[in-house]
Amino acid sequence: MTKDLVLAILKNSDTYISGEAISKELGISRAAVNTAVKSLRDAGFVIDSVNNRGYLLKSSPDTLSYGDILAHLSKERMENVKVFDEIPSTNDYARELALNGAPDKTVVISNCQTKGKGRRGRSFASPKGVGIYLSVIFKPDCLPKDTVSVTAQTAVAMCNAINSSCNVMPKIKWVNDLIINQKKICGILTEMGIEAETGHIQYLIIGIGINANHKLSDFPKEIRDFASSIMLETGNVVNRAKLAAQMIKELDILRDNMEDITAYLNEYKDLSATLNKDVKIISNEDEKIGKAIDINNDFSLKIKYPDGTIKDVSSGEVSVRGLYGYSD
Ligand code: BTN
């Protein structure tokens, strides 16, 4: 923990900062500062030290520790952010926390997942050191029907987080895959608990997996044709801690403005890679082709079929012509 606090101070200082100033700020001994600096160096941080001037952080490995994220968020906010190096699934851990009374907006982040979960019971590849695997707990006092839009709203929030920290605006493939250059770089899985007596929401867990610095070999072979990472598509290494902090800021904004569906819907339409495209709708054994002519207020798709009929689709798999899954 001391190491994380020292790291946050070094990251926020553009000039040399003395060991004495650090020890005063944290209320720890000079020896504890020295020990923290040594262990940071062991972890790959390059920290210059000059007599009578102090320390200067020259470069950091792309790590995703508590201290890395603390450099971009307030200490108060970080009190409800749990950071792990490895965990089975951040969604599962967040659910345990939610059931044990964790407050609204609690966040769980991991550098790796050994049992990352995707939609429809699939697994979500979550290799170490290259992605961001984050779950947030929302505890809105409402019925499940009032939150049908939250996953789509999260997709908009994550586009904004990626745009502000990586300078690239992804598009959204309905309903909640983020894509860059037609490849998936982020998936979102929302789970909820409902109180049996009242039917009210007990908790919502929104899980977000971002492929940040993956090389192609980091993906399982079967998804290499359609999955990619922000680094592969932009050529720039992502500062994962900065992006994770930005994700948390956008999720806080979303939680405070969940009722303002219209603003998110308008942004969603602007970012949509599905609207006005030919789509293939797959439900049960059935496959139909139509055109996505609008996105309704509840984020369902309005589809026009070749025979002129118009229907709304709110669940199931939808592939977009020209995108993965529908390439004829
Ligand atoms: C999908 O595209 O199928 C959804 C993927 C969601 C993955 C995230 S990673 C963080 C959170 N923890 C999980 O086990 N899954 C979600």
What pLDDT is recorded for position 25?
95
- pLDDT at position 305: 94
Q: What is the mean pLDDT of the chain?
A: 94
Only one residue has tokens 């592969």, namely 232
Taking a C-beta distance cutoff of 8 angstroms, is the pair 88, 114 a contact?
yes
More confident residue, 97 or 287: 97
DSSP line for 84-98: ES-BS-HHHHHHHHH
Tokens of 37: 């600096």
Check if 67 has its Cβ closer than 6 Å to any atom of ligand 1: no
Centroid of ligand 1 to alpha carbon of 293 (angstroms)? 29
Side by side, the strands of the sheet bearing 301-304 are 310-313, 301-304, 286-295, 278-283, 317-320
pLDDT tens digits for range 20-62: 999 999 999 999 999 999 999 988 888 999 999 999 999 888 8
Q: Residue 206 Cα, ligand 1 centroid: separation in angstroms?
A: 9
Could you tell me if the CB of 84 is within 6 A of ligand 1?
no
**Residue 135 Cβ < 6 Å to ligand 1:** yes
Pocket mutation for ligand 1, best pick of 128, 208, 229 (most atoms within 8 Å of C-beta): 208
Please choose, from the candidates 143, 271, 151, the residue with its C-alpha nearest in 3D space to the C-alpha of residue 207: 151
- For ligand 1, atom 9: residue with the closest CA: 209
Alpha carbons within 13 angstroms on the beta-carbon side of residue 276 total: 5
Q: Are 303 and 281 in contact (CB under 8 A)?
A: yes
pLDDT tens-digit readout, 201-244: 999 999 999 999 999 999 999 999 999 999 999 999 999 999 99
Q: Is the CB of 88 under 6 A from ligand 1?
A: no
**Residue 42, CA distances (Å) to 76, 180, 278 in order:** 28, 36, 53
User: Token pair of 149, please?
Assistant: 């839009």
| Ligand 1 centre distance from Cα of residue 130 (Å) | 15
Per-residue pLDDT at 326 = 65
How distant is the alpha carbon of residue 259 from its chain centre?
Answer: 21
Report the pLDDT averaged over residues 129-147.
Answer: 94
Q: Could you tell me the pTM of the whole model?
A: 0.88
Question: What residue ranges in 8-144 does DSSP mark as E strands?
Answer: 46-50, 54-59, 81-84, 107-110, 131-138
* pLDDT band (50, 70, 90) for residue 327: low
